[in-house]
Structure 1
């Protein structure tokens, strides 16, 4: 099974992961053979990539959380974010508004339980999202990534609770930013950038005196765009003035954002995102936390077709902990025909690197 951009999906391709509509209904079940009409319909709902099963990659990629739980979490976040900016000031302090956050809290607990009972703590991007659902699925992804990172950092359970809840609501301030700014396919104007950069403050102000949430969770809404070098926003905090929860969510937020395609911008390869994080460690992101993150993320899932620096085409077979950019690969195509079918451990073959992911042979 491998993830490919929608423009590379051809008729008669087998769908590898079930596709859902924006409201959580099943649109196309995994295992279905995609027709030209079905592919066109999927494009209409702004899905930019799909998992497929083909002759090169038939192994299943298992999500770190149950697919039905992921969909439930997305709908819970959507329900809260969609309704929050409709709540009047009078309602803000009433039980009417509390229900949304109680639902998110319950969902946070379910996500935690599901992840903590999962023996596999390596992170691989497995969700298929629609751009129409982007903000909500992004919040869930950031929570999952943050939890995996928090576990790797050996945070105690109580702090993991603060982290998960904070990650789920980190973008709540975007409920108060005009939708045209959030969903534009054009470059933002300076004025629109100012509006967008207000979302951490807007979110924190909304949460600060209204809901029975931990101050640790609320701080994530305010600080997730702060940077160790002090060049972040909204307050230009640096170093230890930024909470560890916010530092973790900042990395998870960047990884998921850059790994996800947008209508006007193709997703970066996860390996390139990882290199971006490493190159900005100590400046944009906490150095030690980035180092830990690099040990638990899997940028090349099993079954990914890749180009190698020696000109060969290979398929990823296994990624070993602590070496995310140097998996074990099997040669599928080479000028040296005697090497086809051979497995190479890139940890040992230092002269060979993966140059990029490929979607067709």
Structure 2
């Protein structure tokens, strides 16, 4: 499979991964042959990147930290809860808690897998994919930092619900006033649920605070900010830099990581950033790259300990001859990724 921009997709291409709606329903199934109408519809609903099957990359599989089944379950239960919040009804956190338990089982089992964060986003599901990503990233970071199982569950729950205060605000605006408003609103909503730890409510309250005291809503400084909120702040910032909901454009992970590192120690906690960067892929599998030897290829493998040194497959076609070479950058130490295409 190749991970490509929708503008490069052509009629007749085969979809590499299923696209889901916000409630977990299937919009388009993996393997469907795309038509011009389908491609235009995907573009209209906000899809910018997607996986396409490639005959020369049939053996390439995307290792997911969380299974498709459990992703759908979390999105569905979260959607039901947020609908209750929107309508002013009492919301059930038990179903969400059960789905988080299943998600954490996957996370523990696949903790050595680098997060790709390449789920196909639409205008409809973006809020849910964002919450799911932040939850998964936060859980992995918490595990890296030695948190107990109970703490990781609290952290994951707070991460999944960190933006619950936004549900009544139908806007992509990210102004300071909005950040202040939704953190207070989220705190008020979650602290009223006796079955939830108060620390979960504080994640919603503090995830826009910053170690240098410039955050909102209260301008807390370093030690005043709970560790859970610091972790969610990093995961939230990364995902927001990776995908801009206002434009639908995706950032390139290697550049987003540079931006995140630049915020370390001021807007984001330095130690959390260090542990967080152990969880994400710098060059996701399926991404087209140009190497420093000017060869163009596709990332087909990852190294947990060396996220910036993937395995790249270069395919050359000359008349009827097909040449396939793989460069494991962990072994070819003088080669590096020159550009992401």
Structure 1 residues 242, 119: closer, same or farther in 2, change over 3 A?
closer
Counterparts of 1:115 and 1:347 in 2: how far apart (Å)? 25
Residue number among 121, 125, 129 corresponding to 1:133 in the alignment:
125
Aligned twin of 2:278:
295
Please list, as runs of the form range in 1=range in 2, the aligned pairs for 1:304-315 lying within 5 A after superposition.
304-315=287-298
Say if 1:201 and 1:222, in contact at 8 Å, map to a contact too.
yes
Aligned-partner SS, 1:60? coil
Structure 1 partner of 2:184: 201
Give the match for residue 18 of structure 1: 18
Q: Deviation of residue 260 (structure 1)?
A: 2.1
Q: Would you say the 8 A contact 2:15–2:33 is kept in 1?
A: yes
Q: Does 1:247 align with 2:211?
A: no
Rounded to whole Å, the distance in 1 between the matches of 2:331 and 2:210 is 36
Alignment size in residue pairs: 335
- Range with greater deviation from structure 2 (300-309 or 158-167): 300-309
Per the normalisation by structure 1, the TM-score is 0.85
Deviations, residues 174-209 of structure 1 (Å, cap 9, x unaligned): 0232x1x33x6xxx7xxx541343211111122223
Q: Which runs of 4+ in 1 moved over 6 A?
A: none
> Does residue 34 in structure 1 map to residue 34 in structure 2?
yes
Deviation at 1:234, TM superposition (A): 1.0
1:156 aligned residue (135, 148, 164): 148
2:319 matches 1:319: no
Secondary structure at 2:14 match in 1: strand
Runs of 5+ unmatched residues, structure 1: 88-95, 335-339
Whole-angstrom distance in 1 between the partners of 2:16 and 2:313: 21
Q: Does 1:116 align with 2:99?
A: no
TM-superposed deviation, 1:342: 4.5
For the pair 1:211 / 2:203, whether they are aligned, the reply is no
Q: Against the structure 1 CA distance between its residues 23 and 265, is the aligned structure 2 distance closer, same or farther, given a 3 Å change threshold?
A: closer
Q: After alignment, is 261-270 or 24-33 more displaced?
A: 261-270
1:136 deviates by 1.9
Once the two structures are TM-superposed, the CA of residue 5 in structure 1 deviates from its matched residue by 2.0
Which blocks of at least 5 consecutive residues in structure 2 are unaligned?
A: 318-322
CA contact (8 A) 1:166 1:217 kept: yes
1:104 to 96, 103, 119: 96
Q: Deviation string for 1:75-119 (max 9, x for gaps)?
A: 2112212321322xxxxxxxx61x422222222222112322336
Given that 1:172 and 1:221 are in contact with CA atoms closer than 8 Å, whether structure 2 keeps it comes out as yes
**Contact 1:14–1:32, Cα closer than 8 Å, also in 2:** yes
Query: Is residue 66 of structure 1 aligned with residue 49 of structure 2?
Result: no
Between stretches 41-50 and 345-354, larger displacement belongs to 345-354
Once the two structures are TM-superposed, the CA of residue 74 in structure 1 deviates from its matched residue by: 1.0
CA RMSD of aligned residues (A): 2.4
Looking at structure 1, the residues matched to 106 and 233 of structure 2 have their Cα atoms a distance apart, in angstroms, of 23
Q: Residue 356 of structure 1 aligns to a residue in which SS? A: strand
Instruction: Give SS of 2:140's match.
Output: helix
Tell me the TM-score normalised to structure 2 length: 0.89
**CA contact under 8 A between 1:124 and 1:297: conserved in structure 2?**
yes
Alignment partner of 1:176: what SS? coil
CA contact (8 A) 2:310 2:329 kept: yes
For 1:195 and 1:127, the matched residues in 2 are separated by: 27
Conservation of the 8 A alpha-carbon contact between 1:250 and 1:285: yes
Distance 1:29 1:356, change over 3 A: same
Q: Cα distance, 1:263 vs. partner?
A: 5.3
* Residue 325 to residue 79, structure 1, CA distance change in 2 (3 Å): same
1:132 alignment partner, SS class: coil
Name the CA distance, whole Å, in 1 between partners of 2:197 and 2:120. Answer: 31
Query: How far apart, in 1, do the equivalents of 2:179 and 2:86 lie?
Result: 16
